[in-house]
Structure 1
Amino acid sequence: MEEQRAHPWGGPPWARGGEPRWQPQWFRGPGTRLPWFSTLVLTLFVQAGSTFAAHSQAADRSPLDAFGRFLLFAGTALLLLRHRHPVLVAFGTAASAMLYLGAGYAYGPVFITVAVGCFAAIVSGHRRAAWSAVAMLWAGHLLVAHGLYRWLPPTGDNAPPWGQELVVLAWVVAIVAASELARVRREQWDRSRAEREAAEKRRADEERLRIARELHDVLAHSISVINVQANVGLALLDADPEQARTALTTIKAASKEALGEVRQVLDTLRAPGEAPRAPAPGLDRLPELVEQASGAGLTVRVERTGTMTKLPPGIDLAAFRIVQEALTNVVRHSGSRTAHVRIDHAPDTLGLRIDDAGPATGGDAGGSGNGLIGMRERAAALGGTIEAGARQDGGFRVEAVIPLAAVSKESL
């Protein structure tokens, strides 16, 4: 994967959710590039700082010669691999520092090399390796400072006071604590990023489902009307040209409306986030739906009860699509040429009931495929329910109840 160039720390300074995503390189895990710049800076600092420490501790420690500088350079050079091989670097820097102290050289920035190596190991998840490396260095330091100092340079060296070891221990604890804090923070960022990606995927899946449902409802109804009218037109083309012309006019109107609604759905894909150019259909377009069904040879009687209220757009669209799909199923799957639509406006619920007298003309009576699934999904998304099934008299009924209690409404 190519490195992003938007920020020198290795990531863009923004995220899709508005949260900063730039992170130091050691938070990004193993990468394809070596940390040349930071390693060079550390090398120069350690070499210069060790020179100053050697001059200030000249009376007690060995002078910094070529071997000492080689050990310092070897430790910092290993840091180039701290993202790719953190365990190797943790033990390697600890070993070079132990040899450096065992040779009697001055205390100084050599510990920074070990700190950076163990820090990289801990934040990358190799906690035990980092702790083992630090413990190895600590044990080696105690052995040299309080046991082997008589036989190791510099000559005439004495054991340091034990109080000094507490200071060293405090630095070790501080390094481990900072590394653990960084590791926890990195895990939190990784978890947050994974949750954002899962949420984005879930939203994308929901949007695809919504668009598929819209397209199905639009096309199923319109194509059913077109199919019925095409059959009528073909049957009457010679015997009754005027009636055939009426059928073709209905086909033209239905196809034009279907194309308009499909275009509106597809516009949301081309320009996500923009407002739709036309309002979504609702129950105010129920007369058009009745007229289209009439053109397909279906007589629809509409009955409203209760006080009519202005519905929220989501509920209004769902109610329209449920009625549309139910009437489409009557046209396609029922031998009845009549349907009864009842809309109950209650204070807390919207009730829909669509009945046809039957009988079914095939095995898919009432619609048992994607149409019924889509109706149930629409109702469930709004906290409602749908029941669909055959009536005792041979007809078919679709009944939906959608709650309105949690939504504010305005009277028409």
Structure 2
Amino acid sequence: MAPDTTPRLRLRLRLPDGRAADVVPACGVLLLGAVWGSAPLIREPAEPWPVTVLGWLLTAAVCGALYVRRRYPVAVTVFVATATAVYYVTSTYDGPLVVAVIISLYSVAAEGRLQAALALAAVVVIGVGIGVLAGSNDMNSVALFMLTGWLVAVLALGTMRHRRFAFAEEAARRRATEERLRIARELHDVIGHRISLINVQAGASLHRLAKHPGEAEEALATIKQSSREALRELRATLGVLRQVDEAAPTQPAPGLARLDELVVSARPTGLEVRVHSRGGAGPLPAAVDLAAFRIVQEALTNVTRHADGATSVDVRLEFGERELALAVEDDGKATGALDRRAAGQGSTGGSGIAGMRERAAMLGGELAAGPGPHGGFAVTARIPYENR
């Protein structure tokens, strides 16, 4: 049986927003007031003309107050309730101003002022109840019960709307915070590695400048190359952040395919970096590929910054069926610097290892850092592929 492809009309009730949310209720109540207020013009007036004119003025004032109810919800509700009470006490005609009271109470609840809304609704119910006990012809016990139900429903709707918007705002703030953390982590990984290499090479060139000017010149050339790469990666990262509707970036995203760049950049520091890979290195999910690259990058940065006497680093990659396992082990000495690295200090004195743990945890993985099995320091991580 062929699927039904006939377009279906979907009706969705949407409340007005913006200026329309101020204009529509005010004009609606004004229209209702005009219909009820035209009764003396059509048939014999049931009350003196000054009282009728007062009712018209009260209706106009209530409608004007409704226009600013979202800015001053409590004050507007007090005014509307008071003007409505005066109208029903003085006028013979049963006007529609009770609708204005309901709308204003809804606005108070929708702004999150639930206690004030409950207090005002109680005053309205008590006031109407007094009128019923006084023998009002316009209200009776059944009408009072129905009005109470309407007010409870309106307050519930207003509270639900407030909570829904509060939840949406909180979710937006949480997404913004996560995005700021992601950007900060990405910039730290991009800049920290290169600046660390520049710092190490600058110290080496100063040490060798007098006795070995040739080696110092080589170190300065490495500094120049590292700074150029740092600027290039920074521009690429900032370019991605600036893009909204522009074309996709032309630079490839960092991944394990660029691991050789990290190996080459570490050589001028005197480190021998060996990469060991096992398993089928098929296409990785982009998030896993980026996280693995950044973890290796930060681990190598920590070796150049903090490892005491390290001369070699082994990077081990194992591509399993469901997860990627990696390890970065150096042959440094277990000194105070090793303790600082295990405590989580990164290339800029910040939270390098903590940042690596965050990257792994965000993808459902885990990361450990501490003394290696053969001395030195080891960073090990497991990152699942998720839906590969």
Q: How far apart in 2 are the matches of 1:44 and 1:117? A: 17
Q: 1:178 to 1:276 in 2, by over 3 A?
A: farther
Q: 1:226 to 1:283 in 2, by over 3 A?
A: same
Q: How far apart in 1 are the matches of 2:148 and 2:103? A: 7
Residue 338 (1) aligns with residue 312 (2): yes
TM-aligned CA deviation for residue 215 of structure 1: 1.6
Q: 1:27 to 1:123 in 2, by over 3 A?
A: farther
TM-aligned CA deviation for residue 179 of structure 1: 5.0
Q: How far apart in 1 are the matches of 2:128 and 2:19? A: 26
TM-aligned CA deviation for residue 277 of structure 1: 3.5
> Any idea what SS the aligned residue of 2:337 has?
coil
Residue 313 (1) aligns with residue 286 (2): yes
Q: How far apart in 1 are the matches of 2:221 and 2:18? A: 67
Q: How far apart in 2 are the matches of 1:211 and 1:199? A: 18
> Any idea what SS the aligned residue of 2:316 has?
strand
Q: How far apart in 2 are the matches of 1:295 and 1:252? A: 12
Residue 133 (1) aligns with residue 124 (2): yes
Q: Which residue of 2 aligns with 1:7?
A: none
258, 269, 276: which one aligns with 1:303: 276
Residue 65 (1) aligns with residue 36 (2): no
Contact 1:75 1:96 (8 Å CA) reproduced: yes
Q: How far apart in 2 are the matches of 1:359 and 1:283? A: 28
TM-aligned CA deviation for residue 317 of structure 1: 0.7
Q: Which residue of 1 aligns with 2:377?
A: 396
TM-aligned CA deviation for residue 235 of structure 1: 3.3
List runs of 5+ in structure 2 lacking aligned partners.
1-12, 70-74, 110-116, 346-350
> Any idea what SS the aligned residue of 1:383 has?
coil
> Any idea what SS the aligned residue of 1:212 has?
helix
Q: How far apart in 1 are the matches of 2:89 and 2:153? A: 26
Q: How far apart in 1 are the matches of 2:373 and 2:251? A: 42
Q: Which residue of 2 aligns with 1:375?
A: 356
> Any idea what SS the aligned residue of 2:95 has?
helix
The worse-fitting range, judged by mean Cα deviation, of 263-272 and 284-293 is: 263-272
211, 221, 225: which one aligns with 2:193: 221
**Aligned pairs, how many?**
351
TM-aligned CA deviation for residue 263 of structure 1: 1.2
Identity of aligned residues (%): 38
Q: 1:36 to 1:366 in 2, by over 3 A?
A: closer
Q: How far apart in 1 are the matches of 2:14 and 2:322? A: 43
Render the CA deviation track for 1:215-252: whole Å, top value 9, x for unaligned: 21222211121122223333333544433332222222
Q: 1:130 to 1:78 in 2, by over 3 A?
A: farther
Letter of the structure 1 residue corresponding to residue 362 of structure 2: A
Q: Which residue of 1 aligns with 2:99?
A: 115
Q: How far apart in 1 are the matches of 2:186 and 2:124? A: 62
Q: Which residue of 2 aligns with 1:254?
A: 226
Q: 1:271 to 1:333 in 2, by over 3 A?
A: same
Q: Which residue of 1 aligns with 2:325?
A: 351
> Any idea what SS the aligned residue of 1:389 has?
strand
Give TM-score scaled by structure 1 length.
Answer: 0.74
Q: How far apart in 1 are the matches of 2:104 and 2:50? A: 26
> Any idea what SS the aligned residue of 1:310 has?
coil
TM-aligned CA deviation for residue 71 of structure 1: 4.4
Give TM-score scaled by structure 2 length.
Answer: 0.78
Contact 2:59 2:97 (8 Å CA) reproduced: yes
Letter of the structure 1 residue corresponding to residue 59 of structure 2: T
Contact 1:264 1:277 (8 Å CA) reproduced: no
Aligned CA RMSD, in angstroms, stands at 3.3
Residue 196 (1) aligns with residue 168 (2): yes
TM-aligned CA deviation for residue 141 of structure 1: 5.3
Map 1:112-191 → 2, pairs under 5 A: 112-125=96-109, 126-127=117-118, 129-130=120-121, 132-134=123-125, 136-137=127-128, 139-140=130-131, 143-144=134-135, 169=142, 177-191=149-163
268, 273, 298: which one aligns with 1:325: 298
Q: How far apart in 2 are the matches of 1:295 and 1:20? A: 64
TM-aligned CA deviation for residue 120 of structure 1: 2.0
Contact 1:306 1:345 (8 Å CA) reproduced: yes
Letter of the structure 2 residue corresponding to residue 202 of structure 1: R
> Any idea what SS the aligned residue of 1:293 has?
helix
Map 1:74-85 → 2, pairs under 5 A: 75-79=58-62, 80-81=64-65, 83=69, 84-85=75-76
Point out the structure with max Rg over C-alpha.
Answer: 1
Q: How far apart in 1 are the matches of 2:15 and 2:304? A: 55
TM-aligned CA deviation for residue 359 of structure 1: 0.9
List runs of 5+ in structure 1 lacking aligned partners.
1-18, 147-163
Contact 1:355 1:397 (8 Å CA) reproduced: yes
Contact 2:29 2:97 (8 Å CA) reproduced: no
TM-aligned CA deviation for residue 348 of structure 1: 1.2
Q: Which residue of 1 aligns with 2:259?
A: 286
Q: How far apart in 1 are the matches of 2:240 and 2:14? A: 28
TM-aligned CA deviation for residue 140 of structure 1: 2.9
> Any idea what SS the aligned residue of 2:254 has?
coil
Q: 1:294 to 1:131 in 2, by over 3 A?
A: same
Q: Which residue of 1 aligns with 2:337?
A: 363
Q: How far apart in 2 are the matches of 1:121 and 1:230? A: 69
Contact 1:26 1:120 (8 Å CA) reproduced: no
The worse-fitting range, judged by mean Cα deviation, of 132-141 and 382-391 is: 132-141
The worse-fitting range, judged by mean Cα deviation, of 188-197 and 270-279 is: 270-279
